[in-house]
């Protein structure tokens, strides 16, 4: 059987969901471009003879489970959705590399002692329903379907209208280890002159919705001193967030804002901004968010407006499994750079759910991510495929990868 190699698969995906205007990608989950990518994945998996399973949360997994091969599986994969106007690599690189790594293992005659799954998680970016890593959180039971089913997108479509949902799916219960390959979202590997690295953990991070409420009025007739304009507290808060994050060496961003009623000649009645905050410790993140909230509240009060803050998808610090990391590092020769991740990943959700997890990063020459300029050179992508195939081969053969089979190791 001939299957497309990494470069052919990668080229075939490049036009899907790409904006002619910006060159960036709009691959929101359960919309047409992401649907096309999923159909592509199912086709590629099926033509390789893998058995495809679709859980009821929109996650898909393709299994390599030759007859008689059982036991805790090794899972690899990533996601196919993108942020709005995102890059080509964040997510799809891990999925395409997983298929290409599987092809290498087959070509090398690897006979697995345990199943290998290639997973595609849904709504990793939270670009449609607002919650990061929604598919993996639902699959491990870290998010409740009863709460999530009524999340709505910008058009008022409910999550429950696009996926069936149900109880957390059982398929992750049979997984003993997860290895996700991802484009690096920084310049750590450029600085270390290395094509591939591994991750130590993920910074605590989260999203908070800030609702500033005031009173709508006429932009001309209402005297400046009579207004209750919520835009002012929002604007001050965006500046304060940037300043506080710089002062503490952390990250704070308002990248999304909605204004009601959004008229040029109308003092707004409400401004909603979403804060994305990340820090190198849980205390750092709590302190950062508390200080931004304090300043926002004080300013809102001075303006005769009000503020309500609601946390959405907050994730604590993640440390990837040291035993699995050590094994992966050893399989890769013991000298690949280890980097912290300041971006969130489904890998963090699985690790926190008790599945030993590791990540591989592929060098990104610009360090830019979540933007059209995100990139990785073809040679580095192929080095990533090679590293992933090496790690997976070591994990699916010989002693088991995680605590489930500790006694056998």
Distance of closest approach, residue 188 Cβ to ligand GLV, in angstroms: 15
Residue with tokens 């997983």: 98
Indicate which of ligand GLV, Mn ion, none lies near residue 143 (CB less than 5 to 8 Å, by partner kind). Answer: none
Output 369 or 393, the one with its CB closest to ligand GLV.
Answer: 369
Distance of closest approach, residue 184 Cβ to ligand GLV, in angstroms: 12
CA distance 331 to 338: 14
Instruction: Take residue 219 and report the two structure tokens written for it.
Output: 């932009």
Output 82 or 237, the one with its CB closest to ligand GLV.
Answer: 82
Distance of closest approach, residue 58 Cβ to ligand GLV, in angstroms: 17
Beta-carbon contacts of 214 under 8 Å, excluding residues fewer than 6 positions away, are 227, 228, 229, 230, 231, 267, 268, 269, 270, 271, 303, 304, 305, 306
Residues 356/378, Cβ–Cβ less than 8 Å: no
Indicate which of Mn ion, ligand GLV, none lies near residue 91 (CB less than 5 to 8 Å, by partner kind). Answer: Mn ion
Indicate which of ligand GLV, Mn ion, none lies near residue 180 (CB less than 5 to 8 Å, by partner kind). Answer: none
Instruction: Take residue 202 and report the two structure tokens written for it.
Output: 């993920």
CA distance 84 to 70: 40
Output 40 or 212, the one with its CB closest to Mn ion.
Answer: 40
Indicate which of ligand GLV, Mn ion, none lies near residue 202 (CB less than 5 to 8 Å, by partner kind). Answer: none
Output 90 or 123, the one with its CB closest to Mn ion.
Answer: 90
Binding string to ligand GLV for residues 263 to 282, with x set by CB under 6 A, is what?
--------------------
Distance of closest approach, residue 84 Cβ to Mn ion, in angstroms: 11
Look at residues 103, 188, 30 and name the one whose alpha carbon lies nearest to residue 389.
103
Distance of closest approach, residue 207 Cβ to ligand GLV, in angstroms: 9
Output 114 or 278, the one with its CB closest to ligand GLV.
Answer: 278
Q: Is 29 in the site for ligand GLV (CB under 6 A)?
A: no
Q: Which residues pair with 25 in a beta bridge?
A: 18, 86
Distance of closest approach, residue 301 Cβ to ligand GLV, in angstroms: 31
Q: Total number of residues binding ligand GLV (CB under 6 A)?
A: 4
Distance of closest approach, residue 361 Cβ to Mn ion, in angstroms: 11
Output 204 or 384, the one with its CB closest to ligand GLV.
Answer: 204
Indicate which of Mn ion, ligand GLV, none lies near residue 130 (CB less than 5 to 8 Å, by partner kind). Answer: none
Binding string to ligand GLV for residues 113 to 142, with x set by CB under 6 A, is what?
------------x------x----------
> 73-79 and 175-183: which strand pairing?
parallel
CA distance 267 to 307: 17
| Sole binder of ligand GLV in the list 343, 347, 395, 404 (CB under 6 A) | 343
CA distance 181 to 196: 10
Task: Report the site for Mn ion in 48-107 (rule: CB under 5 A).
Answer: 90-91
Concatenating the DSSP letter of every residue in 218-277 gives: ETTTS-GGG-B-HHHHHHHHHHHHHHHHHHHT-EEEEEEEEEES--TTEE-SEEEEEEEE
Output 201 or 268, the one with its CB closest to ligand GLV.
Answer: 201
Indicate which of Mn ion, ligand GLV, none lies near residue 103 (CB less than 5 to 8 Å, by partner kind). Answer: none
Instruction: Take residue 300 and report the two structure tokens written for it.
Output: 């809102």
Neighbours of 255 (CB within 10 A): 12
CA distance 195 to 382: 10
Instruction: Take residue 56 and report the two structure tokens written for it.
Output: 């009821």
Positions touching ligand GLV (CB under 6 A) are 125, 132, 343-344
Positions touching Mn ion (CB under 5 A) are 90-91
């Amino acid at each position: 059987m001939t299957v497309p190699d990494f470069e052919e698969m990668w080229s075939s995906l490049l036009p899907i969901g790409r904006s002619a205007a910006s060159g960036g990608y709009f691959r929101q989950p359960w919309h047409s471009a992401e649907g096309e990518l999923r159909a592509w994945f199912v086709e590629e998996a099926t033509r390789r003879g893998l058995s495809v399973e679709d859980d009821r949360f929109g996650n898909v997994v393709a299994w390599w489970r030759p007859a008689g091969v059982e036991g805790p599986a090794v899972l690899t994969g990533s996601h196919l959705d993108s942020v709005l106007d995102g890059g080509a690599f964040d997510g799809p690189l891990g999925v395409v590399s997983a298929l290409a790594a599987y092809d290498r293992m087959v070509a090398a005659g690897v006979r697995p002692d345990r199943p290998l799954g290639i997973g595609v998680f849904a709504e990793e970016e939270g670009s449609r329903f607002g919650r990061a890593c929604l598919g993996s959180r639902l699959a491990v039971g870290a998010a409740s379907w009863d709460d999530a089913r009524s999340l709505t997108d910008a058009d008022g479509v409910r999550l429950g209208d696009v996926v069936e949902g149900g109880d957390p799916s059982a398929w992750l219960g049979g997984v003993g280890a997860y290895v996700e390959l991802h484009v690096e979202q920084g310049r750590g590997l450029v600085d270390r002159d290395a094509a591939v690295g591994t991750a130590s953990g993920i910074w605590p991070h989260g999203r908070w919705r800030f609702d500033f409420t005031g009173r709508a009025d006429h932009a001309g007739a209402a005297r400046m001193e009579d207004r209750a304009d919520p835009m002012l507290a929002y604007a001050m808060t965006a500046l304060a967030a940037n300043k506080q994050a710089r002062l503490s060496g952390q990250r704070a961003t308002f990248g999304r804002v909605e204004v009601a009623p959004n008229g040029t000649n109308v003092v707004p009645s409400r401004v909603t901004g979403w804060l994305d905050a990340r820090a190198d410790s849980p205390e750092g993140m709590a302190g950062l968010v508390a200080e931004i909230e304090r300043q926002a509240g004080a300013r809102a009060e001075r303006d005769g407006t009000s503020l309500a803050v609601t946390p959405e998808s907050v994730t604590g610090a993640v440390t990837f499994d040291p035993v699995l990391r050590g094994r992966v590092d050893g399989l890769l020769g013991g000298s690949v750079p280890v980097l912290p991740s300041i971006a969130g990943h489904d890998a963090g959700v699985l690790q926190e759910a008790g599945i030993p997890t590791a990540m591989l990063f592929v060098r990104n020459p610009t360090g830019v991510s979540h933007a059209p300029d995100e990139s990785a050179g073809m040679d580095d992508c192929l080095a990533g495929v090679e590293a992933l195939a090496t790690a997976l081969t070591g994990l699916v053969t010989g002693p088991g990868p995680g605590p489930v089979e500790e006694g056998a190791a």
